[in-house]
A and B are shown apart, each in its own frame.
Chain A
């Protein structure tokens, strides 16, 4: 019994995160990574990029936080259930935009007015589709990451 509980102790690097250097660098860079991911999503119809890579970049920022600070500080802000909820909202937004086309009779018809080319709000529904894909992909992959991390830690912690 005693030996078992000793075995089940959580290793310090899993809860408390990494060293001070890694924490400081993560604190400085995570905001920049988030801004870059948002840029890739919002400029997906103007330069190369789009919802899928932008969503994964945003996920990588959150994963940076989890790796540097451990999984406990982020659990209060973005638990797995909320991540799954946001991902589901993303794909619902995409599906809703596809159903908007039925207003004019054709599935996926671009009914939102297209503005001038090379502007941010141009090209009709493409920007909103990118945002939906970004939420779906990013939060879905983050939920997978959390599931894979907690799968190893939780039995040790909750016992």
Chain B
């Protein structure tokens, strides 16, 4: 029965998320973050989306490596304890708004496991005979809706350019000379 295991995995992911937020040690927090990603990957696998599961697993590993690398020698952050009453009030207000809107929205959705098959039925019917590929997901993302994938690749490319522009050498050299100038003044 896949639904029960999916429910338990969701509970595990929520518990890992709470641990990742609340724990003091940064490395343990990153490990809990990895547990979230692995749990989500297994959920995708159980809900029969292997493409998504592979992508989730692999991207999670990459993020984990970068995060562990970044937090390896860091000291734990000192947390300021926030005021209790405003926190409680805002959390309560958010929960009420979220639950009411979720109850209204979930009524309109089709039931779990019984999707509406209007557009998707066309894709499933035509992907083997028209696109000539047995993988319906690839047929959708690279043939029926390849324009979306071009936009997605452009988004990632823009992100790469943004990171490289922020961390380029010219900007760093300027900060170095700034700091040395400060040192000379001191």
CB distance from B89 to the nearest CB of A (A): 39
Q: Which of B77-85, B91-99, B129-137 contacts A (4 or more CB under 8 A)?
A: B129-137
For chain A, the bracket of interface size reads 35 or more
Is B50 in the interface zone, CB < 8 Å from A?
Answer: yes
Most chain B C-beta atoms within 10 Å of own C-beta, residue among A57, A116, A126, A159: A126
- Contact: B164 with A50, CB < 8 Å? no
CB distance from B33 to the nearest CB of A (A): 17
Is A91 in the interface zone, CB < 8 Å from B?
Answer: yes
Given A67-B65, A117-B134, A123-B132, A50-B156 contact (CB < 8 Å): no
Majority DSSP secondary structure for residues of B touching A? helix
- Interface residue count for B (Cβ, 8 Å)? 40
- Contact: B134 with A46, CB < 8 Å? yes
Residues of chain B within 8 A (CB-CB) of A114 are 131-132
Residue from the list B65, B133, B149 in contact with A133, Cβ < 8 A: B149
Residues of chain A within 8 A (CB-CB) of B55 are 50, 52-53, 56
Residue from the list A87, A107, A116 in contact with B132, Cβ < 8 A: A116
CB neighbors of A among B127-170 (8 A): 128, 131-135, 137-139, 141-143, 146-147, 149-150, 153-154, 156-157, 159-160, 163-164, 167, 169
Residue from the list B61, B133, B172 in contact with A122, Cβ < 8 A: B133
Given A133-B153, A154-B172, A143-B58 contact (CB < 8 Å): no
* 6 other A-B residue contacts (CB within 8 Å) besides A67-B69, A147-B167: A50-B55, A60-B65, A87-B157, A91-B157, A132-B153, A145-B65
> Chain A residues in contact with chain B, CB under 8 A?
40, 44-50, 52-53, 56-57, 59-60, 63, 67, 80, 84, 87-88, 91, 94-95, 98, 107-108, 110, 114-118, 122-126, 129-130, 132-133, 136-137, 140-141, 143-145, 147-149, 151, 154-155, 159
